[in-house]
Amino acid sequence: MIHPVRFTAAITREGQWYVTRCLEVEVASQGESLDQAIDSLREALELYFEETWT
């Protein structure tokens, strides 16, 4: 069973990149657009927890 979880993301702009960082877990990502950065962070969190819980 999958349970949705909410996390807080800090988003900054560094040059042409948006950098996203999860405040609850040490996971960060980036993207050329805000949507790409958020999607990349979501994917990075999924991979992080997949590795942590398997």
Residue bearing the bigger pLDDT, 12 or 51? 12
Task: For residues 48 and 30, give the distance between their C-alpha atoms in angstroms, rounded to a whole number.
Answer: 15
- Residue 1 above 70 pLDDT? no
41 domain residue, yes or no: yes
Domain that holds residue 19: 9-53
Say if 47 falls within a structural domain.
Answer: yes
In a domain, 31, yes or no: yes
Question: 24 in a domain, yes or no?
Answer: yes
3 domain residue, yes or no: no
- Distant-in-sequence, close-in-space partners of 16: CB < 8 Å, separation ≥ 6: 32
Helix/strand/coil for 34:
helix
Domain count, the chain: 1
- Work out the average pLDDT over 31-42: 97
